[in-house]
Structures are given as C-alpha cells and as structure tokens.
Structure 1
Amino acid sequence: IRFESRVRQFVPADKQFWISNASLLLPGAAIGANGGGMMLINVAPKECQEVLRLVMEGKLAEAQTIQTRLLAPDHEILRHGAAGIKAAMTLLGYEMGLPRRPSPPCSNADVEQIRKAMDTAGLLPKS
C-alpha cells in the first residue's frame, strides 16, 4: 500500500482511483481510492461497495467490521486463482466451467475450505 498511498495525489479528484486487492479495500479507500477491481467483488459486490461507501462517509469502525468478515473468503478464493473464483461462483449457484489450462480446478477439499470461509462471512445464500 506504500505505492498506492502516493498515487492519489497525482490522480485528479474527478477520476477513478481503484484499489485492486479486496484485503486492502478499507485502507485503499482511506487513502483516497473510490473504486476497486478485484476477484472478491464477483462474490461479495454489496459488501465491497459498502466498505467503500462507509470509509468515504468516515464510518471506519463499520467498514472495518465488514472488511474483517471478508478477509478469510478473499484469502481462500484468491489463493486458488481463477479456479477459486469459479468454485466460489459455483457455490453461489452460477454455472461455471473449468479454469483454462494449465490451471487445475479446485479439489473437493479446496472447495470445502472456500465454502466454509464464505459461509462464516455470510456470503452464501440461506438454505
């Protein structure tokens, strides 16, 4: 975040300044990011948007609560790359294909870890 903390001063206020890592969404917004492009936004768009909005409104404690909840699923999904996001989206009910070669699909154990992280974070639909 050292680099990002210096970028905002060179980006006009009317231009987008995005953070690209969901784990850094709150600190990114705190240094002036007003958007994001990250894998987790596919899985938790409302939560990511809410973190940004709350930080921009100065409600850091509320934003931190959501950010903390998103850390485990972000880690579990991202560590598997495209296969992780495909597994997460499948858990949300979307039909996803296999990742392109040479990336292998997630194992059943990997999918279960992603499912647990998403469930704990409240990102899975209620049964």
Structure 2
Amino acid sequence: MSIFTGAAVALITPMHEDGSINYEEMERIVNDQINHGTDAIVICGTTGEASTMTHEEHIETIKACVEMTKKRVPVIAGSGSNCTDTAIFLSREAQKAGADGLLVVSPYYNKATQKGLKQHFTAVAGSVDIPIILYNIQGRTGVNIQPKTIAELAKEVDNIVAVKEASGDLSQIATLMAMTQGDLDVYSGNDDQIVPITALGGKGVISVLSHVAPQDTHDIVAKMMAGDVKGSSELQLKYIPVIHALFSEVNPIPVKAAMNMLGYNVGSLRMPLTEMEDENKAILRQAMIDAGIKVVK
C-alpha cells in the first residue's frame, strides 16, 4: 500500500532571526498546506535544511510536525546520512517520534558503489518497521542509484516501498518502472516532471512548488490519476515559470524568499546558504504574480 498518492510538500523549516526554529510558524504552514490539498508532509529533507540541524533539532522537528499534523496526512521524515550508523539512529528516532514513513537519501560525499548503496539501505531499512522511500538525487550526492539496484532493494527488502526520483532522467525512470512493474512506488522529485512521471505510473510528487500552490500541485496529480491528461498538463505548464524561478538558486533559497513574499514569517537560511539575489527575487515575484499567486510583500 502506498504511503501517499498525490503531492507531498517538502517542507521548509521556518527560522527566527537568531536562527532557531520557529515552530509556531511551522504549525501555521502545516495547517495551511493540509487545508489546501497537500497529501503528505515531508519534514527534515533537503528543503528543510536538515543538513544544518543538530541531531536534537532534527528529532524535535520531526516530533513537532507529527504533533501538528494530528494524523490528518502522513508525515515522512528525512533520516538519511552519509554515515550508515547515523542514518540508523535518525531513522529509529523518527519512528519513535511517530513518523509514518522515512525518506532516506543516498550517502553523499563518500560516493558509495552500488554494492555499498545496497548494504547501506538494507541496514537502515532493517533497523525500523516503517516504510522507506529511497531518495535518488545525484546532483547533490554525487551518486546515482541505478535502476537495477533500486529494483533489487524493492524485491529483497519488505519496507523499501518507494523512490523519490530526482535524477531528471526520464529514460532511467522509465527503465526502473519497467523493472519493478508496479511493485515500487515512484514519486517525482522534480516539480517540472510531475506529468511525465505520473503518466508512466508514478504515484505523485514530493514538491517544493506545493509551498506556493498547494491545491494546484495536488490537482496536477489528481487530474492525471482521473484521466484528465489535458487538465493536468495545462496546470503543469502554467507553473513552469514559477518552478524555474524556485530553482534559479539552490533550494531552499528561493522557496524561503517566496514564502516570505506570501506573508509567512519563515526568516532567513542557515549558513552556508545565503539570501536570494535581488534580480532573481524580482523574477520569482513576477512569476508568482503571473500565475495568480497572491504576493503580499
């Protein structure tokens, strides 16, 4: 059974001016997302700046999100690391905190072999009893999880049930789906590829766009699932300029700027990330306005 079908928001982590986590604003965003169609919350992922959190902050943020969500939608916790022991620790703690599933990125910097990736993911999965979504994003990790490796993991490890595919390689994704024949859920990790991936049989998207257009991001998937290819494609294409602007600088720099433009108080970013360049910010603001998104500042 799928952890979710539709659009999951890869949630940002709002910060106070001193860099501490703003849980009050996080709860406001979680409620707004759920009230506007978001199908799941992914907490402490790339967009959530988990790489700059202490272990204590990481675990506390997962706990807080679970409490805020109140079982209205699934909570999927990022618990990956380039150290297998750390990934096991974070995964166990996320399960204790009440997460419904885990998002486990491939080990970064180490650049493990495919054999090493299999052993890493098998060890992490074996440490918990909740479902796991593998996260393939070579642009950040330096390693591509090959379709054969993912297919073998899905067959051999019961709680590896899905993959977030952010390789951008539709041929590779199609190959994976042919290998797994529906036995593995595939989620788009790129907002500009929701339609093609769901058309191949994908279950939805883990999305940055959902922050600024939660209902429409949900609807891109829902329309495709209902057979309304034209309606889904029209929405996908409508938001291409916004998506490009949201990734004009490294994520989550633009989406935090966008949320502040919408009137949320999400603060700044933790170093080494910096504020969005004014030129790019102006393009992002105009793209949102053109898409009918209400910008208040």
TM-score, length-normalised on structure 1? 0.88
Structure 1 unaligned segments of length 5 or more: list them: none
Partners of 1:5 and 1:44 in 2: CA distance: 27
**May I ask how many residue pairs the two structures share in their alignment?**
126
Partners of 1:40 and 1:110 in 2: CA distance: 16
1:40/1:74 contact within 8 Å kept: yes
Q: Does 1:104 align with 2:267?
A: no
Map 1:1-127 onto structure 2 (within 5 A): 1-9=170-178, 10=180, 12=182, 16-80=185-249, 81-124=251-294
Q: How far 1:35 moved relative to its partner?
A: 1.9
What letter corresponds to residue 76 of structure 1 in structure 2?
Answer: A
TM-score, length-normalised on structure 2? 0.40
Q: Percent identity?
A: 22
1:21/1:38 contact within 8 Å kept: yes
Select the structure that is richer in helix.
Answer: 1
Residue 8 of structure 1 aligns to a residue in which SS? helix
Select the structure that is richer in strand.
Answer: 2
Partners of 2:211 and 2:174 in 1: CA distance: 25
Q: How far 1:115 moved relative to its partner?
A: 0.7
Structure 2 unaligned segments of length 5 or more: list them: 1-169
Residue 2 of structure 1 aligns to a residue in which SS? helix
User: Residues 98, 125 of structure 1: CA spacing in aligned structure 2 closer, same or farther, 3 A cutoff?
Assistant: closer
Partners of 1:11 and 1:49 in 2: CA distance: 24
Partners of 2:231 and 2:264 in 1: CA distance: 30
Partners of 2:188 and 2:277 in 1: CA distance: 30
What letter corresponds to residue 277 of structure 2 in structure 1?
Answer: S
